Structure 1
Amino acid sequence: MVLKYGSTSVPCRLPGGQLLQMKQITALQPAHQLVNEALQHPIGTPPLPGMVNAGDKVVIVTSDITRYSASEVYLPLVVDELNRCSIADENISILIALGIHRGQTAEEHRKILGPLYGRIAVYDHDCDDPEQLVDLGITDGGIPVQINRRVMAADRVIVTGTIGFHYFAGFGGGRKGLVPGVASRETCMASHFAVFNPPEIGGKHPSAVTGVLAGNPVHRNLLQAAQRVEPDFLLNTVLGPNKEIVAVFCGELEQAHLAGCELVRSLYSVPVTAAADLAIISCGGEPKDINFIQAQKALDYGCRAVKPGGTIIFLAACRDGFGYPTFFDWFRYQDLDQFEAALRANYQINGQTAHAVLARARRFRILLISEFNSEQTAAMGMEKSADLQTALAQVLPTLPSNFSSVIIPDGGTILPVVTPPTTT
């Protein structure tokens, strides 16, 4: 088989390895039909014709280049629907939900908008520009909410994106299109800080993990902050292993998102009877391994299929580097307790991600195949390998003679769940 690596692929030859991949879906409808049917049958809201009025100013929020959502497919269909409601192109704009990410290039805008590029106005959110932000007060959970001014000035707000697992918010999509998508840096940091327990307890909150929404304090913060915006309509896709649309959920922000999360859980949770000695994990290629902040999600998910102290070979090209200028600086802390103390004193989302990476590297032997050099790789607690065959040559002699292994071709999507066989 082959594993995706950046924009290329590499052969993987490991006899006996258990392949972990999503359930096969049969009888797929064409993507445009899935989108249109979801638009016509939303969950918890009327369809768009029952919500918008001729002449309304509409802002459509959509994901940046690091989170592929099939936007080039669904955005034109949403705009067509708005046009049919007597809303002209000049009254529609698209806002890229960058969160704290970098701005997009013209070519990236073209990829995101597809045939709408040059026809519909597109803007990048800037979390650090106070002129772009409107203060919406403080949530019941104590989160200060500042949101992009274009969103708040619009008559109607449509939030779009894709639903997948998220390594501490439970699931992506839904409310994340607004917070952190079009929120201030202060809102982003405050809403995410709940990943940690109170200082007298220490460590991460046990419910701030992949695939969990109930009791997840980060999810609660994000949802409460996003609801301050009072968005009118949500469109979220669920994608297959080849980035094809397999389902679309439209409607009210929370209800439609929860319905999509249930499908993701059923499709992408893969049972494993026992944790393995070795895992070979590919993020699934770009954009899931466009930078390390995106790529490490596959590591978080995949390590669940590995025994404590086991070995992971991790393929993540990361052509855009770490993904944020200060991310790598956090690895000056090599003691995890000191690292956590520094985060509590000056919380940053990317620092929390770096802490999670180092914590995993302390629990497993991780060989990283990427564009990073040996020194950068070592600072993250990992070993650099030039390619997959070299990595296998390094690790196979160290494994038990009857070692067990798993191969995860789309690690940025799949969540292994160790489920021992039941006995009678």
Structure 2
Amino acid sequence: MKISIPYGKGYEQAELPAGVETEVIDLPQKTGGLNKRELIAQALANIDFEKIALSDSLAVVVSDVSRPVPNGEILEQLWSQLEKWGMTRERLTLFIACGLHQAPGQEEIKQIVGEYAAQNFKIVVHEAAERYLQYIGKTSRGTPVKIDAQFLQAEVKIAIGLVQPHQIAGFSGGAKSVAIGLGGKETITANHALLDHPACRAGNILNNPARQEIEEIGRMSGLNFLINVITDSFKQPVFINAGCLVESYTEAVEFAKQFYRAPVQGKKDLVIVSAGGYPKDLNLYQAQKALNAGVQILKPDGVVILVAKCEQGAGNRDFMDYLGRFSCPAELIKTFKHEPFCIGPHKAYLWAKKVAQNRVILVSALDSAVTGKLMVECARSLQEALAKAQDKLRPGGKVGIIPHASGILPELLIS
């Protein structure tokens, strides 16, 4: 059986031997219904453009390139309505919410906001340095909240975000675009430090302290409206809504819970996971999220193959430096738990938790200076990785293939 799985901007292909039992676990495909333009128009109909156009200033937040959202089309339609009500361009500022991630270059900015917006509006790329932040108080958990000062100055604030499973916050999007995307290092660190709380897991927002704090920070920052987007495996929108913080985000999450749910017929001897290709596998820092779905459906003695090109390398120096300190994952886990929580090393900790409990083979374009620190087996092709795991490919062996593992909520039907 020939298989093909997303890898960068293309696909990685391989041949599975005859006799194995294969199950593909993927997102449902978009079928019929409204096209992209109609979905956007329908969502924006819930926004009071007259009120926004009368404001002195408007801030619109979009996420970085790792979140594939049709920002360009949304911004064009949003501006078309605002202009009808008398909004002027100098009153509108776009903010790219990159949190502590690498700032985008000019070409990436065009990709994020679209050609029209890049040419016509002021764009601020968030920087988490103290001089760009404003302190606005503490959350009920005691987290100091520092947010992009220019954003806070706007009279009206809108966030456009992708709602999909998130390994700590339950789901991405919503107020997270501001609380994390426009937050300072101290704020982001305190929120991410909740990652080991049992309620902080993909697909769950019920009593999730990280998500609750994100919503609180959204209210503290004065965020007025959300535009929520859910996309299929082709990065095309299947759901868009807009409105106030609680109501619109709750509706989006309820849709997302069903859309991203993927039934699985029992645990597997071998699971092949991809982050979904570009931009989800731009770097290992982001792509490692795909392991979450894979290990959930893996037998105790199974093998998971992570297919992620990582053309931008590891994606975070602190992440790699921390990995480089240790020769085994158990040592890393023990040390991390006894040190002050730090962003960057926290992804090394999450990585180590997965590879300590599971045999992992990584297929990537990473150089040996990086792969030598990862504490996993590595291969240059999926076929080579399958050869390393050939003991799991005997007749009757159960193989799971998850082409878009970063956005899947697997549900075992047979334990």
- TM-score range (shorter-chain normalised) is over 0.9
Q: Could you give the per-residue CA deviations for residues 134-171 of structure 1, whole angstroms, max 9, x where no partner exists?
A: 11011111111011111111111011111100011111
Task: Give the Å deviation of 1:350.
Answer: 2.1
Q: What are the equivalent positions in structure 2 for 1:193-204 lying under 5 Å apart? A: 193-195=193-195, 204=196
Task: Give the Å deviation of 1:295.
Answer: 0.3
Cα RMSD, aligned residues only = 1.8
Q: Distance in 2 between matches of 1:399 and 1:348?
A: 40
Is 1:330 the equivalent of 2:331?
no
User: Which residue of 370, 376, 390 corresponds with 2:364?
Assistant: 370
Q: Secondary structure at the match of 2:405?
A: coil
Task: Give the Å deviation of 1:108.
Answer: 0.7
C-alpha contact 1:21 1:414 (8 A) present in aligned 2: yes
Q: What are the equivalent positions in structure 2 for 1:5-84 lying under 5 Å apart? A: 5-14=7-16, 16-41=21-46, 47-54=47-54, 56-84=56-84
Q: Distance in 2 between matches of 1:257 and 1:336?
A: 38
- Give the % identical residues: 27
Q: Secondary structure at the match of 1:317?
A: coil
Is 1:159 the equivalent of 2:159?
yes
Q: Secondary structure at the match of 2:175?
A: helix
C-alpha contact 1:163 1:171 (8 A) present in aligned 2: yes
Q: Distance in 2 between matches of 1:29 and 1:13?
A: 37
Aligned amino acid, residue 24 of structure 1: Q
Aligned amino acid, residue 320 of structure 1: Q
Task: Give the Å deviation of 1:88.
Answer: 1.1
Is 1:391 the equivalent of 2:392?
no
Q: Secondary structure at the match of 2:193?
A: helix
Q: Distance in 2 between matches of 1:251 and 1:307?
A: 43
- Give me the TM-score of the superposition, normalised by structure 2: 0.93
Q: Could you give the per-residue CA deviations for residues 321-349 of structure 1, whole angstroms, max 9, x where no partner exists?
A: 11112111111243536535435532123
Q: What are the equivalent positions in structure 2 for 1:331-370 lying under 5 Å apart? A: 331=323, 332-333=325-326, 334-336=328-330, 339-370=333-364
User: How has the CA–CA distance of structure 1 residues 224 and 54 changed in structure 2, closer, same or farther, with 3 Å as cutoff?
Assistant: closer
Q: Secondary structure at the match of 2:161?
A: strand
Q: What are the equivalent positions in structure 2 for 1:205-224 lying under 5 Å apart? A: 205-224=197-216
Q: Distance in 1 between matches of 2:232 and 2:297?
A: 21
Q: Secondary structure at the match of 1:27?
A: coil
Q: Distance in 2 between matches of 1:309 and 1:56?
A: 61
C-alpha contact 1:302 1:415 (8 A) present in aligned 2: no
The aligned counterpart of 2:374 is 380
Q: Could you give the per-residue CA deviations for residues 180-204 of structure 1, whole angstroms, max 9, x where no partner exists?
A: 1001111100112122xxxxxxxx2
> Which range moved further: 53-62 or 275-284?
53-62
Q: Distance in 1 between matches of 2:402 and 2:310?
A: 18
The aligned counterpart of 2:299 is 307
Q: Secondary structure at the match of 2:234?
A: coil
C-alpha contact 1:343 1:351 (8 A) present in aligned 2: no
Q: Distance in 2 between matches of 1:400 and 1:377?
A: 28
User: How has the CA–CA distance of structure 1 residues 338 and 360 changed in structure 2, closer, same or farther, with 3 Å as cutoff?
Assistant: closer
The aligned counterpart of 1:3 is 5
The aligned counterpart of 1:201 is none
Is 1:281 the equivalent of 2:286?
no
The aligned counterpart of 1:173 is 173
C-alpha contact 1:59 1:94 (8 A) present in aligned 2: yes
Aligned amino acid, residue 76 of structure 2: P
> Which range moved further: 285-294 or 394-403?
394-403
Q: What are the equivalent positions in structure 2 for 1:129-144 lying under 5 Å apart? A: 130-144=130-144
Aligned amino acid, residue 220 of structure 1: Q
Q: Could you give the per-residue CA deviations for residues 48-97 of structure 1, whole angstroms, max 9, x where no partner exists?
A: 32532435311101001122212122121122222122111121110000
Q: Secondary structure at the match of 1:326?
A: helix
Task: Give the Å deviation of 1:133.
Answer: 1.1
Aligned amino acid, residue 336 of structure 1: A
Q: Could you give the per-residue CA deviations for residues 364-404 of structure 1, whole angstroms, max 9, x where no partner exists?
A: 11110112234633532211111011111221135554210
Task: Give the Å deviation of 1:218.
Answer: 1.3
Q: Distance in 2 between matches of 1:215 and 1:38?
A: 28
Q: Distance in 1 between matches of 2:247 and 2:346?
A: 29
Q: Distance in 1 between matches of 2:369 and 2:293?
A: 25
Q: What are the equivalent positions in structure 2 for 1:94-173 lying under 5 Å apart? A: 94-114=94-114, 115-128=116-129, 130-173=130-173
Is 1:407 the equivalent of 2:401?
yes
Runs ≥4 residues deviating over 6 A: none
Task: Give the Å deviation of 1:35.
Answer: 0.9
The aligned counterpart of 1:198 is none
C-alpha contact 1:268 1:415 (8 A) present in aligned 2: yes
Q: Could you give the per-residue CA deviations for residues 97-151 of structure 1, whole angstroms, max 9, x where no partner exists?
A: 01001211010111112122111111100011x2321110111111110111111
